Chains A and B, each alone.
Chain A
Amino acid sequence: MTEWRLEMRNINKSFVSMQALSDVSFLVRPGEAHALLGMNGAGKSTLMKILCGAYTKDSGQILLDGKEIQITCTQDAIDHGIATVYQHPNLVQTFTGYENVFLGAEASKKHLLGRFSRSDLKKKAQELAENYHMPIDVSKSVSEMKPVERELISILHALSHNPRVLILDEPTSILTRKEKNMLFDVINVLKKQQVSIIFVTHRLDEVNEACDELTILRDGKNITSLRIGSGLDTSYIAEMMLGKKLSNLYPPKSDRQDGEVVLKADRLSFNNRVQEVSFEVKKHEILGIYGLVGAGIDELSKLLFGALKRTGGTVCLNGNPVYFRHPAEAIRKGIFLVPGDRKTEGYVGNMDIATNLSLSKTQKICYKALGLINQGRKKKDSLKLIEQLHIATPSEKKNVAELSGGNQQKVVVGKGLYTDADVYIFTEPTVGVDVGARYSIYEIMRDLIQKEAVVLLISSDIEEIYGMSDRILVLNQGKAAFTARADDTTINEILVQAASNLKSEEKGKDIYE
């Protein structure tokens, strides 16, 4: 037996216009959690997709327990015990949770004769979930599930194959603290069973918490691999990923707090999911909005943007009451929402970057007459945004669906910036975005409020909320629970306010420290 469970040696992979991986080697021991780190577009997902059979490598070797294996399709990988939770899980929306957990299992030879009935499947899925202490109702249909539950279902799907190697590609980007802890518990159980776990993430604190070893890629090349001892020097790691020194995590806040009210919501309601929420946002300020999943934040942002129609209350923009029947009206009046679910709400896949960037403000790239597009302007403006946001791409013509996850997110943010709005609502703007680009997005937000705009920042990352906001609004079960200036409150208080009124049985289980 060799020391390694998995050896990927000298892997090369190129796409039409670029070399995504050059001579990358990646070694993982049994029973170890191994972090794979790197900037957006470094090649992490590509390497993992080669391992799980979604892409084929151009050259190189893959060895499992010392034996060379050939992986030409995803089924090969599964047969070898390599299971994956993708960055963008593809679940069948109309199926129930348990059907998704065992999706594809019916097709494998063992079950050809349909040994499992539905109730068996459901029972097995439930057992699986209980084994790993996942509190989830597997009989719900996926379309009714929250994003977190979908994430759990895709993890269960991967576990249902009894993997020897489990790949988690940015599994935590939308999980809250509580669910993360749950996931880390699962990882610990798996480690004891000698399963190797590959963990792709941008959050260095999680690496510290859950991983034993890490490997860093930059521009498709190996940079370094090292064991994580007692503590991790995060700034050193960030420097290795970025290739240069990184300053602070958050840009300094400004001290201008004298602006007049730009956006004012008064007893805004949407069925019972948003209940009489009132707040104001003043010029030169970032309002952070925080709440647990289901607190109604997503609905609130869509109400302001005209994507949902409010059932009560009023909204005033610069002192004038406004009511939007369609996002088009909101954009015209100067409100833009960067939505949280980039794949379904944010960008149009199979369309090039330049078109996506200008999509919300096409008049800016058009001649006055007949809506004819000024191709030169379109190219120039998109190149400017690509540079400003560090979108890693060979050209502005590249299909957005082919970008790496973090770069897709930057396109969605860039599309918002291009509208020159007065009010920006950013939902999870830095999900999957690497530390370097994250800082530039923060800087851009600060820049926006220095000028005429105001920013509403919605995030499940409490540190981001705390680090970026001037004032903070906490929603709890659809109600505004708490407002305070960031200077006058603490992360702890925000968390307590966000979780306080929960039903008693939920409260008992809470793990917020």
Chain B
Amino acid sequence: MNKGAKWKDELPVILFIIIFVGLIILFSIFGSGFLTVNNILGILRHVSIVAIAALGVSFVVIVGHTDISFYLVACFAAMMMGFSLAKGLPAPMAVFAGLGCALAFGICSGFAVGVLKLPDIIIAIAIGTIGYGCAYLPSGGSRIYTNFSSSGIGFLNDGSILGIPCPTFLMLVFYIIAYIILEHTKFGTYFYSAGLNKIAANYSGIRVSLVVLVAFVICILLGAFAGEINTASVGNAEVTTALTLLLPCYTAVSIGTAIFKKPGVIGTFLGALLLQIVSNGFTHMNLKYWYSDLTTSILLILSLPISLLNNRKGNSGSTVKASA
């Protein structure tokens, strides 16, 4: 009987492994050139954009909220980067210019949700719309090519550091830092307890409003950075550059939550990796991209009940109005 209980507890992990291995076998049989070193390296490279943005989303989910505006703000940040390049700023400055704009948005939504306790979804609708609106400001909505290739911004996507492709390298750095913060520092404890029971966390002397604000800032900064890498890979700044991020990011986080019974760094990475394998494999099977979106959505829906099942046991305080 003991075993039975254990087996049930491990069910999500088993399911994940089955799906993961199953898909790899499927793609190796039916897709040509899936299981090659080059392709696998490619997967690790392409996963980084979604993985970085999803890492940010994880923070917001951990503190018990949602942010569905980060990808729209990311579009603005990417456009600001392109605009700064066009104005002659050096590439690193342009990257920071974009991130600076995103930071302002992150502070706004973090303040509204964390300090003023306004509903996150509605704030996101407003902030997201403003962000996407702002994305049109620099160029009126047209693509920005000026100085783009000559500025060296391409390094963000094509360059390599220590022999590792730049996006992959950055992704690894972010993941390692985030892992240490969340699992091995007191700040990680703050993030998790803020998400699990806001009132108890407050009564334990944790400044929950501030923790929530920081989570929103991290989310938008990482989202914006992912948008900038994507823009660098496209070769010009385009308003729609980060629009595809929302679905895979939330799916990745949700898959991770289902596997590990709580949102976290490794889970999010595995989720993002699974999604990248799906879209890569589908390409190798010559299936159109919308099949991959369809699969992603189905995975999102499937992972939700599993992750919720595991969360029932606790005393989720996020639904209770905080009094402090």
Contacts and interface: CB of A to CB of B under 8 A. Distances in A.
B200 A371 contact: no
B189 interface: yes
A362 B185 CA distance: 9
A512 B192 CA distance: 46
A371 B211 CA distance: 15
A347 to B, nearest CB: 6
A370 B185 CA distance: 7
Interface string B187-202: 1011011001101111
B186 to A, nearest CB: 4
Interface in B201-230: 201-207
A14 B2 contact: yes
Interface in B1-24: 1-2, 5-6, 9
Contact of B1 (A14, A345, A359, A401): A14
A373 B1 contact: no
B314 interface: yes
Given A328-B207, A401-B314, A415-B204, A351 B193 contact: yes
B202 A366 contact: no
B262 interface: yes
B201 A348 contact: yes
Interface string A59-71: 1000000000000
B323 interface: yes
Interface stretch (A25-33, A96-104, A336-344, A486-494): A336-344
Categorize the interface residue count of chain B: 35 or more
A372 B314 contact: no
Q: Which of B197, B313, B315 counts the most chain A CB atoms within 10 A?
A: B315
A346 to B, nearest CB: 6
Contacts of B316: 349-350
Contacts of B180: 372
Q: Which of B185, B204, B207, B323 counts the most chain A CB atoms within 10 A?
A: B204
Contact of A351 (B185, B196, B202): B196
Interface string B131-163: 000000000000000000000000000000000
A148 interface: no
Contacts of A359: 189, 193, 201, 204, 206
A365 B180 CA distance: 16
Contacts of B116: none
Nearest to B317: A344
Nearest to A336: B205
Contacts of B283: none
A331 interface: yes
Nearest to A337: B203
A363 B193 CA distance: 16
B205 to A, nearest CB: 4
Given A307-B202, A326-B324, A344-B200, A373 B2 contact: no
B96 to A, nearest CB: 24
Given A359-B193, A373-B186, A15 B200 contact: no
Contacts of A351: 192-193, 196, 314
A266 interface: no
B250 to A, nearest CB: 21
Contact of A401 (B185, B204, B313, B324): B313
A399 interface: yes
Given A16-B9, A93-B320, A349-B316, A372 B185 contact: yes
Contacts of B323: 307-308
Contact of A344 (B9, B192, B204, B315): B315
B311 interface: yes
Interface string A11-55: 010111000000000000000000000000000000000000000
A365 B314 CA distance: 24
A348 B5 contact: no
B288 interface: no
Nearest to A370: B185
Contacts of A344: 197, 199-200, 315, 317, 320
A355 interface: yes
A362 B204 CA distance: 10
A87 interface: no
Contacts of B6: 16
B202 A349 contact: no
A345 B206 CA distance: 13
A447 interface: no
Contacts of A141: none
Q: Which of A14, A93, A305, A351 counts the most chain B CB atoms within 10 A?
A: A351
A173 to B, nearest CB: 17
A72 interface: no
B324 to A, nearest CB: 5
Contacts of B193: 348, 351, 355, 359
A58 interface: yes
Interface in A91-116: 93
Nearest to B310: A350
A371 B185 contact: yes
Nearest to B186: A362
Interface string A77-95: 0000000000000000100
Interface in B271-324: 311, 313-317, 320, 323-324
A335 to B, nearest CB: 10
A171 interface: no
Closest 5 CB pairs of A and B: A350-B314, A349-B314, A349-B315, A362-B186, A331-B205
Given A307-B202, A350-B314, 16 more contacts: A16-B2, A58-B1, A59-B1, A326-B205, A330-B205, A337-B203, A339-B203, A344-B200, A347-B197, A350-B262, A350-B311, A351-B314, A359-B204, A366-B185, A372-B185, A375-B184
Interface of B: 1-2, 5-6, 9, 180, 184-187, 189-190, 192-193, 196-197, 199-207, 262, 311, 313-317, 320, 323-324
Interface of A: 12, 14-16, 58-59, 93, 305, 307-308, 326-328, 330-332, 337, 339, 343-351, 355, 359-360, 362-363, 365-366, 370-373, 375, 399, 401-402, 415
22 contacts: A15-B5, A16-B2, A93-B320, A305-B203, A326-B207, A327-B205, A327-B324, A331-B204, A344-B199, A346-B200, A347-B197, A348-B200, A349-B196, A349-B197, A349-B315, A349-B316, A350-B262, A350-B313, A359-B206, A360-B205, A371-B186, A401-B315
